[in-house]
Every structure is written in C-alpha cells, then in structure tokens.
Amino acid sequence: MKRLFVISSLFALAASPSFAADAVVMEPASAFNWTGLYVGGHVGYGFGQTDATFSAPNTPGFAATQDYDVDGFLGGVQVGYNYQMNSLVLGVEADFSGADINGGSDEINIGVRGDTYDTKIDWFGTVRGRVGYAMDRTLIYGTGGLAFGSVENRYLDGPDNSFSEKSTKTGWTAGAGIEYALDDHWSAKAEYLYVDLGNQTIDYGGSNTEFDNKFHTVRLGLNYKF
C-alpha cells in the first residue's frame, strides 16, 4: 500500500506541470479593442506664420507682403468614437481649444509712423475623421476634416489709428497621431495638426490688407473610453 501511494504521488507531481502548461496555452491574453465612445482633454502649443499682403486696387502693381510669426499655448476637450475591424480603426472626433496664439510684424514703414500688423487666435475647434492601424494597445492614425476658430487681424496705422477685423473663420485641418491604451478605459495620445482658417481682409480707404491665417499645433491628450 505504501509503494502504491508513493507511485501515485510521483505520477501526480509529474503530471502537474503539464496541466499548468495546458492552462497557460488555453487562456491567452486578450487583445485590446479600440471600439467605443470616448471623452478627454488636451494641452498643447500652436505656432505658425501669418502672411499679410497689402494692396491698393486703385493703384495697379502697388503691393507688398509682410510675414510674421505667431505662437502660444492652448488647451481644451475632445469627444469621439472608434470602430475597430481587425487591425483597422475608423473613427470621428470633435474638439474645442481655448488658445492664446498671437504675434505681430516688424515696422511696415520704418521711420515713418511705426505701422504694424498683428494677429490673435482666441479659440478654435475641429471636426475630423480618423483612420488608424492598431497594434494591440498602440494606435497610429491619420486625421483630417473641418476647422473653425475666432481670428482677429489688426493694422496699427501709427500711434493713433487702428483698423481691425474679428470674426469666426472656417477652413480645414489635417494631421497624425499616436495613442496608447494605459488600461481598458484610459489612453494617452500625442497629436500634430495643421490648421488653415482661410483669409481675412481689412479695408481702409482705397487700400486693403489680406491676412492668411494658418498655424501648426502639437498636443498631448488623455482619453477615457466607455
């Protein structure tokens, strides 16, 4: 009886690693799925160059261009939805950012009156499609769509006169990003967008200046998927 007990125990010990190995093989770790609604927030930095073109319609050939840098910080919120098919992820996202992106030109007429141009973007938003490739918890994507924002362009005609135009402009945006799922709900992302809000014109007397409002953004964000 004692010998039978020892032999049975040895068989049990020999078999236990096999059962453990079988258990590991039969229960593989499940891949992350990006499908679902999400909300989040972001912070970032905007930078670019505004092209201001002066012309006098009553004086053909009389035109000049002044280029100057704009930059500043931004922050806001986003909401979106993803749908995953194998490794392909399709999505749509809308976001809104408060911004302090601004800048101004050097003197336009040096030594005359100190005339300058300046530009300020108070806020902007986008509505974009997203197409991505998922590698489990890592998502690489391209994005593009509609952009809109509040833009103010101004011409300072010496120390006393100021001409400005402020309105909500629409345009387009395109970019790319990478997102990583920290767990089943939270993900972090880094994203680049190019934003073009179109042209804006200030008229004064028999002349005008047209401003080309475009800039780049780099943003870091955090999303919560439901």
Segments making up each domain of the chain, as ranges: 35-225
Structural tokens at position 164: 């400005």
Residue 77 φ then ψ, to 5°: -130, 160
For residue 103, give the DSSP letter. E
Per-residue pLDDT of the chain (226 residues; tens, 9 = 90+): 443 343 344 334 444 444 334 444 444 456 899 999 999 999 999 999 999 988 877 666 666 788 999 999 999 999 999 999 999 999 999 999 999 999 999 877 655 566 889 999 999 999 999 999 999 999 999 999 999 999 999 988 766 778 889 999 999 999 999 999 999 999 999 999 999 999 999 988 778 899 999 999 999 999 999 9
User: 41: burial class by Cβ within 10 Å (0-12, 13-18, 19+)?
Assistant: middle
- CA pair distance 215, 53, nearest whole angstrom: 17
Q: Which residue has the tokens 């073109």?
A: 53
Architecture of the domain whose range is 35-225 = Beta Barrel (2.40)
pTM of the model: 0.82
Tallying the residues shown for the chain, one arrives at 226
